[in-house]
Amino acid sequence: MKKVTFIHAADLHLDSPMTGLRHLPATIFSRVKESTFTALKKLTKTAIDRKVDFVILAGDLFDGEDRSLRALSRFRAEMRRLEENGIPVYIVHGNHDHLNGSWIHLDMPPNVYVFPGEVEIKKQQTKTGERIHLYGFSYPTRHVFEKKIVEYQKEEGADFHIGILHGNEASGTVHDNYAPFTVQELQEKDFDYWALGHIHKRAVLAESPPIVYPGNIQGRNKKETGSKGFYHVTLTEIDTKLDFIEAADILWEQVKVDASTVSRFQELLQLCQKEINKYRKEDSAAILSLYIKNLQLADEHEMKNVETNLLELLLEEEKDEESFVWIAEIHITKSQQIDKEQLKKEVNFYGNLFETIERFENVDEAIASLYEHRLGQKHLSPLSEDEKRELIVRAEKLLLDLLCN
Ligand SMILES: [Mn+2]
């Protein structure tokens, strides 16, 4: 059966300056600066390990039109590794690395093919004899607003037809409307796969044929959250397999923490540490924005400067950690202060509720089933009077949160 496998990536943004992150500790900032290259290495390694037929890079390989020399030479080194393994690379350039920029030209190895400024068909045969037609163009200048899709014309004579396009799906208004297209227009071309680039968020716009934005391979700021990587695609005459592979060395993520169950700073710290550790991975690092809601510490003194103190403690050991989880920012929303006296006046129900809570003495009875349970009998020790009191306070807090928010 005819079969072709390839890697589809886009928006590498190599050597992105990572602006706005200079305040990070030097070790962490240099790891972030390196991250686009680390992700590229993961890509080439995967291509070699999985013995793909070729690699497609669908635009914005370089972050700037001047394509830093560092980016060019590091990119070339990776392309050479692919060449040594007999893997061709098909490239279109996008709005960030359009052909009209000025840069120092380094010759790429012969396995690298760059599509020109007009739509062209590249014909290729794989090692196992499958004939492939690849269609694409590079941005001749930064701004390409024309509907380039009309220039893609299927030419018979291949087992698989693959369109490469750096552009914006026309219904999306958030992004620069470069080389706009609709899903229907792509489908009408009757190709077997559409390798898109431009949008940094991963999206499969259609399944048959697959129309795919792989997203960028490495997030560059707190807005580019979630796992980032590329697709390993397998096309056969009867079906398609899309295997997403994570490449990012640094994960950016927004983390929400509900602090309504804590009343002391120490507990808040532990709660945050627990959440943060979920993002600790052996072979990558993370930078998080922490959103803490419903916070109300019992001690007013602990509430003062809580953000600064929390941040200081959470970051204490991360600087020297290989798999660091750095907290870039903390946002705290305090739980609404509930005025019990006011509530009592407003609604009779609250008067009864608070009275019941104040008089409540049956904590033992309320938690009896825990102690009767086989595991409870084994592991639980009896509660002190203070602990019982605290349970009541927490239960009241929980009830009021549920009733008032
Ligand atoms: Mn891009």
CA of 126 to the centre of ligand 1 (A): 29
Looking at residue 164, its amino acid is I
CA of 201 to the centre of ligand 1 (A): 10
Taking a C-beta distance cutoff of 8 angstroms, is the pair 396, 357 a contact? yes
CA of 116 to the centre of ligand 1 (A): 19
Task: Return the sign of the alpha-carbon dihedral for residues 77, 78, 81, 82.
Answer: negative
Better-scored residue on pLDDT, 81 or 338:
81
| pLDDT over 80 at 336, yes or no | no
> What are the pLDDT digits (tens) for 284-328?
999 999 999 989 888 888 888 899 999 999 998 888 888 899 999
Helix axes 348-359, 385-404, angle to 10 degrees: 160
Across the range 60-78, mean pLDDT stands at 92
Residues 272, 258: Cα–Cα separation, whole Å: 10
| pLDDT over 90 at 120, yes or no | yes
CA of 178 to the centre of ligand 1 (A): 11
Residues 362, 380: Cα–Cα separation, whole Å: 18
3 state DSSP class of 67: coil
CA of 200 to the centre of ligand 1 (A): 6
Residues 46, 42: Cα–Cα separation, whole Å: 6
CA of 260 to the centre of ligand 1 (A): 40
Across the range 54-69, mean pLDDT stands at 92
Q: Lowest-confidence range among 44-53, 271-280, 331-340?
A: 331-340
Q: State residue 303's pLDDT score.
A: 86
CA of 392 to the centre of ligand 1 (A): 54
Q: What is the pTM of this model?
A: 0.81
Which residue in this structure is represented by tokens 């080389």? 179
CA of 264 to the centre of ligand 1 (A): 45
CA of 13 to the centre of ligand 1 (A): 7
Taking a C-beta distance cutoff of 8 angstroms, is the pair 8, 195 a contact? yes
For residue 405, what pLDDT band results from cuts at 50, 70 and 90? low
CA of 95 to the centre of ligand 1 (A): 7
| pLDDT over 80 at 173, yes or no | no
CA of 59 to the centre of ligand 1 (A): 7
Residues 133, 160: Cα–Cα separation, whole Å: 6
Domains of the chain: 3-246 (3.60.21.10), 250-334 (3.40.50), 340-404 (no CATH)
- Classify residue 29 as exposed, middle or buried by CB count within 10 Å of its CB (0-12, 13-18, 19+): middle
> What are the pLDDT digits (tens) for 347-374?
888 888 888 888 888 888 888 888 888 8
CA of 306 to the centre of ligand 1 (A): 38
Cis-peptide, bond into residue 209, ω within 30° of zero: yes
CA of 166 to the centre of ligand 1 (A): 9
CA of 131 to the centre of ligand 1 (A): 30
CA of 386 to the centre of ligand 1 (A): 58
Taking a C-beta distance cutoff of 8 angstroms, is the pair 89, 82 a contact? yes
> What are the pLDDT digits (tens) for 227-254?
999 999 999 999 999 999 999 999 999 9
Q: Residue 308: CB partners within 8 Å, gap ≥ 6?
A: none
Enter the DSSP assignment of 155.
-
CA of 10 to the centre of ligand 1 (A): 8
CA of 144 to the centre of ligand 1 (A): 14
Helix residue ranges per DSSP H, 226-288: 265-277
Q: What is the CA radius of gyration of the chain?
A: 28
Task: Return the sign of the alpha-carbon dihedral for residues 359, 364, 370, 375.
Answer: positive
For residue 385, what pLDDT band results from cuts at 50, 70 and 90? confident
